[in-house]
Amino acid sequence: MSISMSSASLPIFRTGLQNLSHILAKGLASAQARKFDPQVLVTARLAPDMLPLSRQVQIACDSAKLCVARISGVDAPKFEDNEASFDDLTARVAKTLEWLESVPAAKLDGTEEKEVTIPTGRETTRTMKAEAYLKHHALPNFFFHMTTAYAILRHNGVELGKLDYLVGAR
């Protein structure tokens, strides 16, 4: 059986977000064990002009959500980007997972040639076929923000290994 648009998106985002949730749990546990305010990690950055952990998690969630919404045509809930703690961020991941589970695979399948338009700036957009959008934009973007979240925690001494990213808590 060949790969479908749903099988090339939903399970990848689901596994990634579950693993992100696991990585966040290890971040929180590390701050508690080392007895410092977990907020330090929530607002930590790899460079002064890079986004902090909270935004990396929000964008990873939205990469998955917006990809599935744009391809399937199913409206996605808007989230306020007001998460300010590990608990908030974990809840954001859970809400995103819950919505992804609600999207029928059939709404994604057969959309390879569908045109998808994404914003590239305040007044500019880019249009591409759904298959190219998934493979060359949405998936790389999703993993970019997941890995950056991991890297922020790892840089700050959280004991993470690549299996936490690839396999998660299982």
- The Cα 124–Cα 119 span in angstroms is 6
- Residues sharing a CB contact under 8 Å with residue 96, sequence separation 6 or more, in sequence order: 17, 61, 62, 64, 65, 79
> Which C-beta is closer to a copy of itself: that of 92 or that of 145?
145
Minimum distance from CB of 21 to a copy of itself (Å)? 15
Which of 2, 86, 79 is CA-nearest to residue 42? 86
In the complex, least distance from residue 87 CB atom to a copy of itself, rounded to whole angstroms: 25
Interface residues toward a copy of itself, by CB under 8 A: 1-5, 7-8, 11-12, 15-16, 46-47, 50, 112-113, 131, 135-137, 139-141, 143-144, 147-148, 150-151, 154-155, 157, 162, 165-166
Q: How far is the CB of 97 from a copy of itself (least distance, A)?
A: 16
- How far is Cα 166 from Cα 17, in angstroms, rounded to an integer? 11
